[in-house]
Chains A and B, each alone.
Chain A
Amino acid sequence: MMDVRVAERQTDLEILRYNPEIAGEPKLERYTVPTKTEWCVLDALNYLKDNVDPTLTYRWSCHMQVCGSCGMMINGEPKLACKAMLRDYPGVIRIEPLAHFPVERDLVAVADDFLAKLKRVKPYLIPLEKRLPEDGEYRQTPAQLKRYRQFAMCINCMLCYAACPEYGLHPKFIGPAAISLAHRYNRDSRDGGRDERQEEIATAEGVWECTFVGACSEVCPKHVDPAAALQQVKVASTVDWYLEHFMSWVQK
């Protein structure tokens, strides 16, 4: 027998329920669920939906921390429900929709704003030099790959927006994930689109809105470190400014 214990326990969940078609304010409902210690919060929600209340509403799909569907606030912190293990939550677990987004229903947040921002920063390769498939691949060394790979790990789960106090105060802020993805392409040796993206991100609504709290990086389930991306964009755009104003004869 393997040395793995699968113990059972009763877990108390408090879930914020809200249905716009039914009058009343969002309110916390309490449930007690039989769970196993190896479960994650998503397993407990699925148990509830299948056995107690089929009206409970949330998004989920992969159950392996990569599709980014199941972001929610768990005891006040933005988490993926499939990555929040019950063993780390001994007491009552409070589950609410992601902070800073409008709520569609129960735990389903409206994602429109994030998707619009993502599109705005042009998160696609704008090639430095055009190639056709028959020309073969661009050469890119492991070191060049490493310059941007971390920022390409973003799964668009929006946890960083829920953690970001600036986004909470100023919803126009483009925000951590979108800026990180712009930065990802800016750092790609194959890309020549930095100037176009800077017009969006090196602005008051872009990086200069960020006060470097760093909460985005703390909650990122994929260690993308958006705070580092934002700081690097700030430094780079400062350099741009100096080059433009004091050394305008130098090619950027």
Chain B
Amino acid sequence: METIQTDVAIIGAGGAGLRAAIALAEESPNLKISLISKVYPMRSHTCAAEGGAAGVVKPDDSFDQHFHDTVGGGDWLCDQDAVEYFIHEAPKELTQLEHWGCPWNREADGSVAVRPFGGMKIKRTWFAADKSGFHILHTLFQTSLQFPQIERYDEYFATDLLVDDGRCRGLTAIEMRSGQMRRFNARAVIIAGGGAGRMFRFNTNGAIKTGDGMAMAYRAGAALKDMEFVQYHPTGLPNTGTLLTEACRGEGGVLLNKNNYRFLQDYGMGPETPLGKPVLKTMELGPRDRVSQSAWHEFQKGNGVKTPWGDCIWLDMRHLGEKKINERLPFVRDICISYLGIDPVTDMVPIRPVVHYMMGGIHTDINAASSVPGLFAAGECACVSINGANRLGSNSLVETLVFGRRAALSAAAYVSGAKTGNEAALSARADEAQARLRELFMRNDGDETVAGLRREMTDTMEEGAGIYRTQEGLSRTCDKISELRRRYRNVVLTDKTNVYNTDLFNTLELGNLLDCAEAVAVSGRERKESRGAHQRLDFVGRDDVNYLKHSMAHYNGLEPPAVDYLDVVITKSQPGVRDYSGAKK
């Protein structure tokens, strides 16, 4: 097997991976960097983020406010030391992006403009129309092109981490155009592989978001933290699941039930605010978990709008007018017209809550280091945790930047003291990875298909691990996923050729999704309380006595993961009431 020697290998080339690569190139210019991704960097799912990125920059704002919005928004499951670091780094990172050319929207005086976002008490979301993630990703990608020490391995599918003597020392990856496996001997590895939303049937995520990085780390002995916390975004298109940014509401769009009633006022987020004059941190600018949960309750009450795709609610943006929609939400308008044939300038848009983001991920400390020495993680695949039980919109893009850089600094420091691994042992690990792949290739006697198993997985996740959960539903889903993981061993490839074999990659992706899905379901079954995005019909309300802690799922082969708990870091904000009642105060 061809071996590539490198200092730091980065898996994933979206926001976090590119930021890490640039940080290493700028701040440790003598290191050799391998940036490995199963897609070209500009295809990474960071491009789909629309609304913007939060950072304290305006004189009416303060770090304290961003801290409290984030910690309260996360239902006090955030690690407060990590949040503190995050909010202080956020404006530096956003300014750095500005210096690299990011086309942020501007005020008349030329300063950066900010927009309101859900759960934020002050306007602090930097934005580039409704294509903020796209511009961030392309700015990072284009900036990275000037550094010769960043060696890109585009369209390389990472399969396994190489761990020897308890330390991560590289990985194996398949060069997709040849089908050949390569070994990367790295002194440190950073995983920036994104989320795993594709385990659900109805989601905003791109096809590539299959939890590869999470699953790889998990199998290599790193814990997956807080996996039960899955964010539903309130406003997805009902047929395709396509995201309509929270900025639709930030700019003044409102949510209505079938009686044209702004129902959020019935769920602790009222009183109603005047049309076209959104008030921060209340009504339509409540946090995503609460807004999605309210929509669910409306459906139970029979107040949903009946559509060919099931119950929906209305997103009404008509009063914003064509000019504002074209200036602030042009992409949203395009998407509604393309996929629904509805123009938000003249008509209300049916929407429904849709799986969007994983708060959980690879457990890291505040330095982006996982529990496996030499392995670091950043971005959606990681759980630091700044998002707690519910992420606030516009914190995740910044998280990729802040902790992408942090992971790079930590990896560089680690590398300076890291000894080289045992060549024979690493070679043996790589051969094992190749043997597993060969076994899959040669297998002829199974009767399972990727599409079939995937359908069963997304169905059971949707049924048992959705917005509201019960012991019974979660247990059924746990059993089902466990069964699917066994049946996965009987998948037979239809495609046995080498060049760009997507049948093979889809199979590996399904395996990764199943591993992550089991961690979600089992961690959810074990958390017998309701907090943030994890809502139990049989355990209503938060239980700080027993569950003010992070769940940690440990890989256990074909058996379900063992789950234990880790204390939350609390520095200055004791758990309190999440209040989104606006003017009532």
A: residues with CB less than 8 A from B are 1-2, 4, 6, 19-22, 38, 40, 49-51, 53-55, 57-69, 83, 85, 104-105, 108, 110-111, 115, 118-119, 122-125, 127, 131, 133-134, 136-142, 144-145, 148-149, 152-156, 181, 185, 188, 190-191
Contact = CB atoms under 8 A, between A and B. Distances in A.
B111 interface: yes
B499 A105 contact: yes
B208 A61 contact: yes
B206 A140 contact: no
A145 B103 CA distance: 7
B100 interface: yes
Given A6-B308, A54-B451, A139-B110, A65 B338 contact: yes
A251 B499 CA distance: 54
Contacts of B497: 19, 21-22, 55
A65 B142 contact: no
A148 B498 CA distance: 43
Interface string B296-338: 0000000001111000000000000000000000010011001
Interface stretch (B41-49, B184-192, B568-576): B41-49
Given A22-B497, A124-B143, A134-B92, 14 more contacts: A2-B308, A4-B308, A6-B239, A6-B308, A21-B498, A57-B501, A66-B47, A67-B42, A104-B499, A137-B95, A138-B99, A141-B106, A156-B138, A188-B101
The 8 closest A-B pairs by CB, nearest first: A139-B110, A125-B101, A61-B206, A50-B451, A54-B494, A55-B495, A62-B206, A133-B92
B358 to A, nearest CB: 17
Q: Select the residue from B39, B48, B99, B350 with max chain A CB neighbours within 10 A.
A: B99
A138 to B, nearest CB: 7
Given A51-B451, A85-B338, A137-B98, A63 B206 contact: yes
Contacts of B40: 111, 115, 156
23 contacts: A2-B305, A2-B308, A19-B497, A21-B499, A55-B503, A57-B500, A59-B39, A64-B243, A66-B331, A67-B44, A68-B43, A68-B47, A104-B499, A115-B154, A125-B143, A134-B92, A141-B109, A141-B110, A142-B106, A145-B105, A149-B103, A156-B42, A190-B99
A139 B109 contact: yes
Contacts of B501: 57
Given A55-B495, A148-B103, A191-B101, A64 B335 contact: yes
A168 B240 CA distance: 36
Contacts of B444: none
A191 B143 CA distance: 13
Contacts of A131: 99
Nearest to A4: B308
B207 interface: yes
Output the residue of A55, A119, A185 with the most chain B CB within 10 A: A55
Nearest to A190: B101
Contact of A105 (B243, B341, B342, B500): B500
Contact of A38 (B43, B45, B339, B502): B339
Contact of A66 (B99, B131, B498): B131
B103 A62 contact: no
B135 interface: yes
A62 B499 contact: no
B43 to A, nearest CB: 5
Contact of A64 (B39, B43, B242): B242
Nearest to A221: B334
A122 B207 CA distance: 30
Contacts of B239: 6, 38
A55 B500 CA distance: 10
A149 B139 CA distance: 13
